[in-house]
Amino acid sequence: METQKTTLLKGSEITVKCLELLGVDVVFAYPGGQAIELHQALSKSKMRVVLPRHEQGGAFAAGGYARASGKVGVCMATSGPGATNLVSGIADAYMDSIPTVFITGQVPSHMIGKNVFQETDIIGVTRPIVKHSFLVLDANDIVQIIKSAFHIAGSGRPGPVVVDIPKNIQQQRVEFNFDVPVNLDYYNPQSAFTSSDAEKVKSLIATSKRPCIYAGGGIISAGASAELLKFAESYNIPVVTTLMGIGAIPEKHPLSLRWLGMHGSVFGNYAANECDLLLAFGARFDDRVTGNPQTFATRAKIVHIDIDDSEINKSKPVTLGVVADIKEALCALNQKPLRQEYADWFSKIEQWKKKYPYNSYKVKPDRVQPQFVIQELSRLTDGKAVIVPGVGQHQMWAAQYYNYNFPRQLLTSGGLGAMGFGLPAAMGAKVACPEKTVINIDGDGSFQMNIQELGTLFVEEINVKMIILNNQHLGMVAQWEDRFYNCNRGNTVLGRCKGANGKGSNTNCEKCSGTSCTGQAYPDFVTIASGYGIPGRRVERREELATAIEEMLACDGPFLLDVYTGYDEHVLPMIPPGGDYTAIIME
């Protein structure tokens, strides 16, 4: 009697099949010696594989994909330097609660711990910056581990998960059975919002005269923007968001107070600090919002609803802390809303708005000011583009001067503040949402940190638009030097300026903008883009800007605008580090 043959699959093939069955449609992956088996399996898959030009670019791209889509982003790299190049992207996903799975190749399991070629303990390296991690030591465990990784990454408070697979496990042949039950007894992030919780929240609202909603990125992660808007309108309570919460409520809505914190709206900061009831929904009281937490919202009772119990009372003691999914909580609270008019409170807010208008800056007609660039971009895109900034002054201007209308519209590195984030994250966002206009707004410093991803845009035909606000400086650090270090330049000039003393870039030459002493900005980004096959245009005069943006938007493919803005603009308003809202700098 002939025995039935069972087809055995390699661990690498099982890994890829798991991704397919979990609904993954794109993987950002860079090959290498210990990941070659994974890439051989990927070559036979129907999933799209995007090859970044650097593993960090792939990591940020996977995060950008997840931020734009709400789905789990997937990135692969080889062992050693390939894995360590992922670290900034993993940390970024951890700080901003972005659902991502990072799969790394590893040296054969019997060689782990012997310092062989390209071995790094990536599990140990990333332990403080992941939600969970797995080292696979048997190919029979791959299905359960991959399914567990995706569940952990995307549920509760989302975050990154690392799966490290030694090469011999990738080569091990075993039977494939996807219907393996996932046993996660150690992980139960769900906590129900009860009717008792709802009554406690409503009781505090009922006695409030000056309530304010403080909405964080958790609103967007939970897909609760519609519920937030309904709550705000039903209860008639103004909303201030965090940087990560921008888009949770349309910014032109009458109840929107824009965003708060170091560079947020003055009236938003005043409302959050002078309210008598602060409703913190999916926010974590980070230092860029609160400054010194002891001086933040001192007049208010605080309700804090968050999916992560470790955030309750972590940075700011609260009156009522509730561990729950914020969408579920808002749905319950929206059942029987308590509406009050709060006439005196809204009158006070209107006074602040008139005294401290939003988006006000001193116009310099002879300059292409960065604020003007963002305003023109918002006008010409009708506030409908997805904006992905790098990190620095341009990031804050992008948050301040574009009119955001929907969630997942501003994708930014909030907690980690990683320069080099913008271009690859925009790349991932465009792959996730090909129907949307995706624009990377960057600084010349931040853009150069992952400039090689121009090659990915061209080869993969990813239609990302790029605007560089070129000031030839590390602008945000230079602003702090101007404000707090007597204008002394500590290696923040990026152009080839020799300095007034001829010894370097501590100070600029007389009448020098920080550019090359030949008078030309450095480097020539338009020529660099051309070398990658991408068209571009320089903008040096204010009257050129609108036409240049229109040309960029009309281009059927990636396009780079290099806009020379000057270096002496400051992001305002600004709350000094460690200060409170009463110390806000306006000019």
Q: Do residues 95 and 152 share a domain? A: yes
- For residue 530, being part of any structural domain is answered with yes
412 inside domain:
yes
Any domain includes 297: yes
Same domain (yes/no): 270, 350: yes
* pLDDT above 80 (res 507): no
Report the chain's mean pLDDT, rounded to a whole number. Answer: 94
Residue 483 within any structural domain of the chain:
no
pLDDT 10s digits, 160-183: 999 999 999 999 999 999 999 888
324, 193 contact by CB (below 8 A): yes
Residue 541 falls within a domain, yes or no? yes
CATH of the domain at 13: 3.40.50.970
- What pLDDT, on a 0 to 100 scale, did the predictor assign at position 567? 86
Q: How far apart are CA 33 and CA 52, in angstroms?
A: 17
Q: Is residue 225 part of a domain?
A: yes
Which are the contacts of 114, defined by CB distance < 8 A and separation ≥ 6? none
Q: What is the mean pLDDT of residues 187-204?
A: 93
Choice among 13, 37, 55, 311 that is catalytic: 55
Provide the residue type at 308 as one letter: D
Q: Which of 5, 73, 360, 332 is nearest to 201 (CA)?
A: 332
Candidates 262, 427, 449, 476; catalytic one: 476
Q: How far apart are CA 322 and CA 370, in angstroms?
A: 41
pLDDT of residue 1: 41
**pLDDT reported for residue 191:** 86
Contact between 178 and 143 under an 8 Å Cβ cutoff? The reply is yes
The catalytic residue among 17, 147, 167, 465 is 167
Task: Judge if 115 and 255 occupy the same domain.
Answer: no
For the chain, percent of residues with pLDDT exceeding 70: 95
Regarding whether 412 and 525 lie in a shared domain, the answer is: yes
**Mean pLDDT, range 297-301, rounded to an integer:** 96
Co-location of 338 and 451 in the same domain: no
Question: 95 catalytic, yes or no?
Answer: no
Residues 212 and 338 in one domain: yes
Domain enclosing residue 207, as ranges: 195-355
Whether the per-residue pLDDT at 3 is higher than 70: the answer is no
Are residues 349 and 400 part of one domain?
no
Q: For residue 521, what pLDDT is reported?
A: 78
Which one of 117, 294, 461, 550 is the catalytic residue? 117
Phi first, then psi: give them for residue 177, nearest 5 degrees. Answer: -140, 105
Q: Per-residue pLDDT for 243 more than 50? A: yes
Q: Is 117 a catalytic residue?
A: yes
State whether 13 and 69 are in the same domain. yes
Mean pLDDT of 49-67: 98
Query: Is 201 inside any structural domain?
Result: yes
pLDDT at 566: 85
Active site residue 395: no
Q: What does each C-alpha distance from 574 to 140, 261, 386, 394, 488 come to in angstroms?
A: 55, 8, 25, 14, 20
Task: Please tell me which residue in 40, 118, 340, 452 is annotated as part of the active site.
Answer: 118
Q: Percentage of the chain with pLDDT > 90?
A: 89
Taking residues 412-418, report their average pLDDT. Answer: 97
Q: Which of 308, 329, 355 is the last residue of a domain?
A: 355
- Let me know whether 377 and 525 are in one domain: yes
Number of independent structural domains in the chain: 3
Q: Which CATH number characterizes residue 260's domain?
A: 3.40.50.1220
Q: Is 491 domain-assigned?
A: no
